[in-house]
Amino acid sequence: MDSDTGEGAGPPKYRTLSVIVPVFNERGTVAEIIRRVRSVEVPLDVEVVVVDDGSTDGSDKILAALQDSTVRVLTHGTNRGKGAAIRSGIEAARGDLILIQDADLEYDPDDWHLLLAPVLKGKAKVVYGSRFTGERMNMLPSHWVGNRFLTLVTNVLYRSTLSDMETCYKLFDRVVLDGITIESDRFDFEPEITAKVLRRGFRIYEVPISYAGRELDEGKKISWRDGFSALRALVKYRFTRRF
């Protein structure tokens, strides 16, 4: 296990924050999330990389109209999954910090400063926004139980102390991701990246964030089946040497 956590080395000098926005059939929210993203002020240059993962509801047309010098849009010809979209976004990103921003308005870009603070102060190279320690609109009971269970499994297998492994608000120093190969195409991206970050010896810093959870009739896409995939990923990457 690597010991390079990056802590205690003094504040690093970051220049650009790359924000990866995976999109699949988010016609009702994608314009608003791009508006919110553009309005956030942070002490860094911001690059927005939107990945349209084969949307069929007209999201692609909205994104075409929104694309400009601050927002790049990449397109998957068919739906390949959230993990595949994030992988494409990271490969195209130029920043030395990488932030994942969902397009469904559950996560508020006004919380970016909370995620950035520990990194800019040199306290961490990986920061997760925890939905269970901040202001929130509670998620569905089945999702609450599933998230808590998967986080507990993560803590047992990887000797971590996380409160929200499945959070979609994840911020990385680019050097952390450069040593990791992302294999997951779907929602099992979350356990895979967490497992590989922890196995490389990087501590994950958590900060409280706000959360406005959607319900199924509002377009929530993750289901209980994805929980089994997440569990398999946690066990798989605990006992493989592949990063």
Structural domains in the chain, CATH included, are: 16-238 (3.90.550.10)
What percent of the chain is modeled with pLDDT above 70? 85
What angle is formed at CA 112 by the lines to CA 108 and CA 114, rounded to 5 degrees?
110
Q: Hey, is 136 helix, strand or coil?
A: strand
Give the tens place of pLDDT for each residue, 95-151. Answer: 999 999 999 999 999 999 999 999 999 999 999 999 988 665 565 566 678 788 999
What's the whole-number average pLDDT of the chain? 89
Give the tens place of pLDDT for each residue, 5-29. Answer: 545 556 889 999 999 999 999 999 9
> pLDDT at position 219, please?
47
- 203 Rama sector, left if φ>0, alpha if ψ -120 to 50, beta otherwise: beta
**Is a pLDDT exceeding 80 seen at residue 223?**
no
What angle is formed at CA 184 by the lines to CA 178 and CA 157, rounded to 5 degrees?
85
Strands (E), 140-214: 170-173, 205-208, 211-212
> pLDDT at position 137, please?
53
Across 185-192, average pLDDT: 92
Better-scored residue on pLDDT, 189 or 220: 189
Give the tens place of pLDDT for each residue, 123-137. Answer: 999 999 999 886 655
> pLDDT at position 3, please?
42
> pLDDT at position 1, please?
40
Place of tokens 């308005």: 105
Q: Hey, is 126 helix, strand or coil?
A: strand
